[in-house]
Amino acid sequence: MTAETSARPNVVVSIGRIVRFTRVMYKPHYLLYGVLWVLALEGTAALVSQPDKAWNPTGATAARIAIVAVVLLYLRMVDEQKDLEYDRIHNPDRPLVTGAVSAVELRCAMGVIAFVSIVGSLALSVTSAVMIAAVLVYGLLLWGLERLSETVRTNILLNLVVTYPVQLIVTGYVVLSAVDTGEVGSSGHVAVIAVVFAGAFLQFEFARKTSRINRPGELLYSNALGTSGSVVLSLLLALVAVVCEIAVVRPWDHRGPAVLIGWIPVALLLIPAAGAWKFHRSDEPDYPAVPAVLFILALYLTLIVQAFVLT
């Protein structure tokens, strides 16, 4: 048996391990989130920047969805490696901890994803390729920064400050790429849309890491802010998202049934409010993350409908 033929089974085995890693660590709702994120973002940006022109998703839109989806997997792979020491204590069933996948295999997969996403984005525009490359590089910089700085690694609020911008760069990628390919017009109001999506995501981020039990060593926002502080901040972020969305979409400028569709985001605030009420009334130690997830999905679906209807 030659070295070439003996290497082939190893490649097949590694591909299988990466597929299993993806199945375990990249759940279907992550993919759903990525798809809705791109559609809602592009649609809202089109609605705000070109209110008199109907938004029609194109092949470029589909390409951006696919690229964002694989880049989110890339970032998940980065997180798996940079959080290894923490996971050995708090998440011992993670694939990298158990040996179900190796760091070398993850890095090879990351290289393939980086190549495919940059080349795919370059087919859309040079700006698209630069922005997606910035996302990939920022993920690696975060990994290095956390290895160098224990404070960044263990202070959850500081960690959020330095890690969240990767989401903003992805948002910038989608919008600027859509401007280049013609689905979105150039408008200063588009910057406000970034606040909408930041608020929606961060309300979930705080909700999923809130507990009424202080757990030293675990990265919980409630450890730093207190349970009430973390809950209130999550609710405020949802409110910021809705207020900014209403401000840029301006439902009062429409007539008929479109007015009702324009005001739906306000009603969606009942979802995180119900989650907070449930937590207040129960003895469960951890804040319920499901209402926060439902708020994001419902808001993004509403934004997509608005992009089709409010033109």
- The verdict on residue 5 lying in a domain is no
Q: Let me know whether 150 and 209 are in one domain.
A: no
Window from 64-73, 88-97, 258-267, 268-277 with minimum mean pLDDT? 88-97
Q: Let me know whether 160 and 231 are in one domain.
A: no
- 85, burial (CB in 10 Å: exposed 0-12, middle 13-18, buried 19+): exposed
Indicate the residue type of 268. L
- Give the number of C-alpha atoms closer than 13 A to the C-alpha of residue 121, restricted to the C-beta side: 30
pLDDT at 91 over 90: no
- pLDDT, mean over the chain: 92
- The verdict on residue 170 lying in a domain is yes
In angstroms, the CA 184 to CA 176 distance is 8
Domain boundary among 185, 220, 251: 185
Of 245, 254, 239, nearest in space to 302 by CA? 245
Position 8 scores a pLDDT of 52
Q: What is the pLDDT of residues 163-194, one digit of tens each?
A: 999 999 999 999 999 999 999 998 777 889 99
What tokens were used for 184?
């979105």
Q: What is the pLDDT of residues 131-146, one digit of tens each?
A: 999 999 999 999 889 8
- Per-residue pLDDT, averaged over 258-286, amounts to 94
Q: Let me know whether 196 and 175 are in one domain.
A: no
- Per-residue pLDDT, averaged over 302-309, amounts to 95
Instruction: Looking at 83-220, list the stretches that DSSP marks H as alpha helix, in order from N- to C-terminal side.
Output: 84-90, 95-98, 103-122, 126-148, 150-154, 156-163, 165-181, 190-208
> How far is the CA of 265 from the CAs of 138, 234, 244, in angstroms?
32, 16, 10
Of 204, 180, 184, nearest in space to 30 by CA? 204
pLDDT at 119 over 50: yes
Indicate the residue type of 152. V
Query: Is residue 184 within 8 Å of residue 64, measured between CB atoms?
Result: no
Domain boundary among 170, 185, 200: 185
In angstroms, the CA 289 to CA 301 distance is 19
- The verdict on residue 195 lying in a domain is yes
Position 191 scores a pLDDT of 85
pTM of the model: 0.91
Domain boundary among 137, 152, 185: 185
Q: Let me know whether 35 and 155 are in one domain.
A: yes
Position 5 scores a pLDDT of 46
> Angle of helix 126-148 relative to helix 156-163, nearest 10 degrees?
160
pLDDT at 32 over 60: yes
Indicate the residue type of 253. D
Helices and strands, counts by H and E, the chain: 16, 0
Question: What are the φ/ψ torsions at residue 254 (nearest 5 degrees)?
Answer: -105, 170
- The verdict on residue 227 lying in a domain is yes
In angstroms, the CA 175 to CA 169 distance is 10
- Domain boundaries, position 17: 10-185
- 162, burial (CB in 10 Å: exposed 0-12, middle 13-18, buried 19+): middle
**Number of domains the chain is built from:** 2
